[in-house]
Amino acid sequence: MKLSVQTCGTLEIIGIEAGMKAIADAGFDALDFGLDGFYKWEELTSGKKCAFFEEENLYKYVDAVKSEADKYGIVMGQMHAPFPLFVPKSPKGSENVKADVAKCIELCERVGCPRIVIHPIFDGSARYPSMTKEEEIKANMEYYTSIIPLLKKHKVVCCLENMWGQDWRTKKIYTAACSDINETIKYIDELNSIAGERCFGFCLDIGHLLLLGQDPCYWIERLGERLETLHTHDNNGVADEHIVPYMGCANWDRFVLGLRKIGYSGNFSFEVSSFNRKFPKELVPAALKFTADIGKYFIGRIEAETDPMDEYR
């Protein structure tokens, strides 16, 4: 099992060279290559193109990260595509993001990355969504089906992710696309049936489960072999904080139990960029080391012959 961490929350703070060295020194051997944090909200809503995704800028950045990763023997475990795919009242913004996601699928082959996380289409305003559930499912099936040729061409597995929505005035949290396990399983199985091969899997976001009061062990068991990778992070139960485990209120014993039950052997990947951002840049390497130590602890329990939680099987 490879130990993986986001590039976001490190490279933009201390730079590519220092960032990759810190990631390697901490003990990580894989990356969640984040290309999801470069859009500004103004660009999304106005339909303006994001300059970062112009090919010259994009390739320069991607090649630089890949070069530094190779220096330390760190592999690209997964890529995180830009989002959202649906921008309310901005068809051009939605179109731009989809075009840039297509570029990311192509880039996966360029850097040797076997999987990409692409958030499903949904209206994050949640309280008064601009599409019905039926329209949301139709939009997702049409979109994911449309990228099957690209996934096959570049030999990439697309990972859907469990999402949540929020009324930003009242802070009330709502279910969203792929937050229902039955809906999730149906998406993956139907899309793979259409593809005629395994082109789709799932990235289980533990922090998002917590926001909706959902049990990680139940989700992991139901997903089974559909579980392709993880977004491991904690929160206080009311905000998507993206902090390291044990600093929030997630049930990490249930998480370990679920992964042990299905014999999970994929990458153990953290999505804790906000944790790094809490510190001065001089302490980012120490924050990464702390995160890696937690990951090694989890991997030890998951791969051990026995674990204290096994009695609850």
DSSP 79: E
Using the Cα atoms of residue 122, residue 115, residue 33 and residue 26 in order, give the sign of their dihedral: positive
Peptide bond into 84 cis (omega under 30): yes
- The Cα 308–Cα 289 span in angstroms is 26
Residues 6+ apart with CB under 8 A from 193: none
pLDDT for 72-116, tens place per residue? Answer: 999 999 999 999 999 988 999 999 999 999 999 999 999 999 999
Angle at the Cα of 274 (from 276 to 173), degrees rounded to 5?
165
Percent share of the chain, pLDDT over 70: 99
CB 282: neighbour CB atoms within 10 A? 8
The pTM score is 0.96
Percent share of the chain, pLDDT over 90: 90
Domains of the chain, start order: 3-312 (3.20.20.150)
Is the confidence at residue 124, as pLDDT, over 80? no
Our measurement of the distance from residue 205's CA atom to the centroid of its chain's CA atoms, rounded to an integer in Å, reads 7
